[in-house]
A and B are shown apart, each in its own frame.
Chain A
């Protein structure tokens, strides 16, 4: 059993690794954790959405526990923990809804009650001192667990308001599935750290996490780190478990085949579908 973490980290940190969207991809999680261990990080944070999409949801929990990852709750975790009817993404496309239902029923039916209880106790946010500033870690946005923050539809004035309301210098989020970083003119930041469970619709099977380094007196350094892993093994497991073949296609090709309706025009234009 993993002990629930406090919402405010007690010690200031200098370099951290942050990731989101595991989506039951234990292969990518293991590869990412191995990579992060070689980068001299003070702590590793996960911004939620442990299940969905991939196979064998229970396999990610021991990896998180053994690596001491500090986790916050994503919308998927909350839904699975509380046994909601669906993941709460609010799709309107019947095709997306079909895929979401299949994936959700699969995950709900195979997540041990011990892990559901643990997810129920996860905090929705974390606040930590990163270098000399304050970072707020959240899932979708500081104000809503299921809010999508895309690069092309998140304007600077809106980011500034989120930072003001969060009383933070840096916001770290995930949920949308594609990484990006915005530095405001006043030196504050919003970083969508990406996801490690699914490629980011760029035609390659790699996934991404983020390393942030805050040296005293220097600009916050944001490095997006690509992670290769045995995606073919994952795809075969998904097929053996009877998950939709479209999901395995995404794992192999790097192109999204579902959840496309939530993409803004600019992000959608970059993909194949």
Chain B
């Protein structure tokens, strides 16, 4: 297989994931995925406010004037309580970079009292003191605290070409700090590079070489959303959903709370076409697969959840 170069702002669209698996008539209506139950609540706590500006970011986060505003603490608490009352199984804090939120730690503690909670971070703000605080929180929490640290490529230069200068070293340092405290972070990579040796194995080897004894790796596909908007197309039809089973699609059991309402999934949070209501209760309804990113979910069977 040809090795694709890392994604950059000017790079051509990567081919494999972002092409149609079969012919789809453009006129075919978008499929509707029935809502089953709320397994995962995603909370876009910092909106698209981030201290990095990655080339493939699914929601075009960055340091300047986020198009999707952060949530205030009260909105986060309200969403957590509403989800807990619905019997949610897992909570995820994402953004943007969640550690930019001034109240991230009390909010994390609040969520962990009710459900296992995962925070998705680029690791740049996880210094020694923050790692200590997270370890203390995990130690007293009733449920599991999970940390996902984003790092896209096992080579520093290739990673930083996508995520920005210094991102590789800072993410790896965060992983080391968390691992040293027994928090077992999950290295989470977007598949921006497809060489012959699987990315999973290369990232696992990187972690082992770094001294991480229990390496955990999660790979996500590239989505044609955010900075990759327009890099793929096609529509998921009802027949296609029937083929794989609606329950395999995460919008059947997840919702994302962000500024402006509740959305079908974390990838599409903030987009008007994915908005399902003002509250969770309103948003527990069928979702129409209108966005090109839905096709990637359908093709790959990928889940944004930890496992």
Contacts and interface: CB of A to CB of B under 8 A. Distances in A.
Contacts of A152: 116, 143-144
A94 B307 contact: no
Contacts, number: 72
Interface stretch (A25-33, A66-74, A257-265): A257-265
Given A93-B200, A94-B200, A153 B143 contact: yes
B87 A265 contact: no
A contact patch SS:
helix
Contacts of B90: 153
B146 interface: yes
B114 A264 contact: no
B215 to A, nearest CB: 9
A158 B183 CA distance: 24
A110 interface: no
A265 B145 contact: yes
Interface string A78-97: 00000000000000111000
A265 B88 contact: no
B217 interface: yes
Contact of B88 (A157, A162, A260, A271): A157
B262 interface: no
Interface string B140-162: 00011110000000000000000
Contacts of B86: 157, 161
Contacts of A269: 182, 184, 214
A121 B86 CA distance: 34
B89 A158 contact: yes
A266 interface: yes
Contacts of A143: 37
Interface string A131-153: 00000000000010000101011
Given A92-B218, A93-B200, A265 B146 contact: yes
Nearest to A160: B87
Interface of B: 37, 84-90, 114-116, 138, 143-146, 182-184, 198, 200-201, 204, 213-214, 216-219, 306-307
